[in-house]
Amino acid sequence: MRDTFRFSKEGKLKLRYIGSFEIFERIGTLVYRLALPLKLAQVYDVFHVSMLMKYEPNLTHMLNFEELNVDDRVPYVESPVQIVDHKEQVLHTKTNPLVEVV
């Protein structure tokens, strides 16, 4: 694949290949645990074999992971909201409450 570094929010169920990582452990016949960097600590590290791609070695292929600096001192300000409208959407088997908030 030409564009292998695709780990963005382009679509909810779109496949995202982010690079090559070492296989840390084989859990079952079709399940592997990968050695992910600390930057991807929020991602679950167990993958089914169908989600993995075979890596073909290429000397010109280098991955550069940029560090993301997050300032912990930035405060989060909550703003008050007001419920303007409330209605219920009736489906075949259930009812979903719909709320309009400003």
> According to the model, what pLDDT value does residue 39 have?
82
Confidence of residue 14 (pLDDT cuts 50, 70, 90): low
The answer, yes or no, to whether residue 75 has pLDDT greater than 50, is yes
> According to the model, what pLDDT value does residue 87 have?
93
Confidence of residue 11 (pLDDT cuts 50, 70, 90): low
The answer, yes or no, to whether residue 89 has pLDDT greater than 80, is yes
Confidence of residue 95 (pLDDT cuts 50, 70, 90): very high
Distance of CA 50 to CAs 26, 30, 95, Å?
Answer: 14, 8, 37
Tell me the C-alpha distance between 14 and 35, whole Å: 23
Got the DSSP string for 40-74? GTTS--EEEGGG--PPPP-TT----PPP----TTS
